[in-house]
Structure 1
């Protein structure tokens, strides 16, 4: 059915069934034509007072009316739905949506209304420019109302200079006009190769404008030793060479050899990072294959990706962690980080 036809059905019941006012008319719509929510709220306008709906719209065939869409339609258009309310605490919508998706294994499509990843994301240059000047130009809801995070400017090939400048400032950098122009050109080249540009990509592009290759690395790996024996606590000794050519050596123990290496590096740099993810992939074939280690670490509120490669996995692990540390330290040279100031070398 379609909204007009369904609403007329409800009006017919209200007009022709005796004692209908003593009953609550409930509607249960399926989404075969993508009209489940539209039919449901049309029924409410005609006199229905209960909607059977589901979180994320999950259900038989194409699904049922999505609860979050019904709730936010009623909440956002109070001028239209002035005689009804839902009583739903909307700030729990996004967390609940994620929980249902996790438990059922049904992923929410990116462009899903209200709870989709792209629901509050803007990539078009014109949209981003308008959004930066006035949010309600392109958003009729605040993502905080559904328990979501702030709106996101998705940086891609359609983004313009205004969005890029806003992103640069958000990351804490200050660029002059020439640097911004060169950054914009390199950003466009990279955006043609990647659908979405991530924060690490921006740091790399910006730092390329601000610093030489030599300036980008506060520390380089000089040498390292690692001892591991069953039943004993692993120990590591690491030697780092700082940008001023001074050597720094520290020893540490850990839960494993990699942990011991990272603890030794932390002693030298003065940073203490939480390891969120650690992955090893073979880049070449054979017994002497070169491995690439990727780590994701967190310092205060900032997450950084580091990469290192080599035949020796432990050495590659040290290089990956050091790569992430150098990114953190370089950030302090060019602008503030979230949280307290990071100690230097």
Structure 2
């Protein structure tokens, strides 16, 4: 390929800045099954801050003590980004949000209320006058804490235009510096959404001193298109999430918004402050902590986004990459080569490869990862970047686990009972148990549960392949549910049953941590 190729991003002498507002930790986490732990939220927030996200919506502080604590700690640690908390148009929400963001160098309160006839009648049971009163009161209350206040008209795209303009005007008069026009249910088309933004900007007094924002959902697959149409019409903030995570069909995908603006500067004279070389890393991190896999053909960050199988495509790319690629893999943090490591690779090459992939491990963690890499290389014909990422992600995730899989033997087949004999390392003490089940996975999980009794139910068991081929590593996701809350564990290995055991044990470790138990022995059978 042409190693000197540059991305086709035409120079624009008068480009305007588009502010990136990331809601992965708030709207993204509301996606069913995507709940993150306290530490995982901090890890994601740190990466978002590092990659140049302007505003991080860190959570909904009134929702729970855990949400409040995570928003507060993210606010305390943030280096560059504005840290934002969400609050309903209620005084207690706003007060709690203000307390959570207080440690931030720069904090924002984001308050909202439903404005459409459907929301007024069926969700809140109030009339237009009451909505307007709450808009004014909530924004004024938020403004008493900070001069950075955002107001949102929930379900704006299904709100009468005259009333929406009155609400926006009330919010601006009360002190809102950013006004968000959400397509809450993903109902609008790009032309409609652009016209809505233009109408508000033209009609509402004070619009010239206000930043307008988009927040588009993807129910019809139009979230990114609607967001960009809104920017073209005058919005200068886009609310989005890594991997498009969010309620129902999700939000506008951050990586798609950013790369569309970067790549099509010829028709969109804008820019963002995002370091695009970190997009793939951010995608993989969010996928790992939420256990939500990224579809292979996902734009920008999917596994196939820069892959070519067609002979015509391969021939064209080899001759000149721009024949079939409008962006360079390097521009989003990918490496052109993925097959460079094998069983003859040494520690130095392994460490350098990990650095290329964005990993910095301590000495002990590195040695453990290297041993696992050599074992993997002995079993696999080809070791790809994705294999190494799965291996190291598991090493990082399990570094502080108190329970680990030491050994597993399974008997399965068409006849006879399915048996699993597992040995668990319980903080240095080994315990072994044999159990039967309906199948090898069921038997394995029964054996683990016999050693570490618990009441959690298996809510999800999912198997995927890290790479292609019959020797591919299996990547297993296990979700356990207890007392209305869920924990998710992941495990990888070329043996699917070993990966399954590791994933189950990973979830158990999170369950122990959540329940505050200091010793796994406290869960052992007598």
State the TM bucket, normalised to the shorter chain.
Answer: 0.3 to 0.5
Structure with greater contact order relative to length (CA < 8 Å, sep ≥ 6):
2
Please give the TM-score of this superposition, normalised by the length of structure 2: 0.30
- Considering only CA atoms, is the larger Rg found in Structure 1 or Structure 2? 1
